[in-house]
Amino acid sequence: MGKPKTRKSILKRFKITKTGKVLRRATGQDHFLIKKSSKKKRQFKKWIEVKGAEAKKIKQLLYYSK
């Protein structure tokens, strides 16, 4: 059994801050944008923190991508 590898799909979707927080992009920004307000569309640009067990799992999958 070889060395575990980084999950590239996870690497593209999340980022980890220096303090160890896991961040993700907002959902719902791909289509149906005409019916969403300008305020809502601006909010999609922000990174959102992932918390709890979900964040722990993502960190495990990104362990080998330093």
Summarised one tens digit per residue, pLDDT across range 8-43 is 999 999 999 999 999 999 999 999 999 999 999 999
pTM over 0.95: no
pLDDT-wise least confident of 25-29, 52-56, 59-63? 59-63
Specify the CATH number for 1-26+39-66; select among 3.40.50, 1.10.150, 1.20.1050, 4.10.410. Answer: 4.10.410
Per-residue pLDDT, 2: 74
Q: How far is CA 26 from the centre of its chain?
A: 8
Residue 65 has what pLDDT? 59
61: nearest Cα among 2, 16, 1: 16
Domain ranges in the chain are 1-26+39-66
Spatial separation of the C-alpha atoms in residues 13 and 19, rounded to whole Å: 18
- Residue 14, number of CB atoms within 10 A of its CB: 19
Residue 66 pLDDT > 60: no
For residue 10, the Cα-to-chain-centroid distance in whole angstroms is: 8
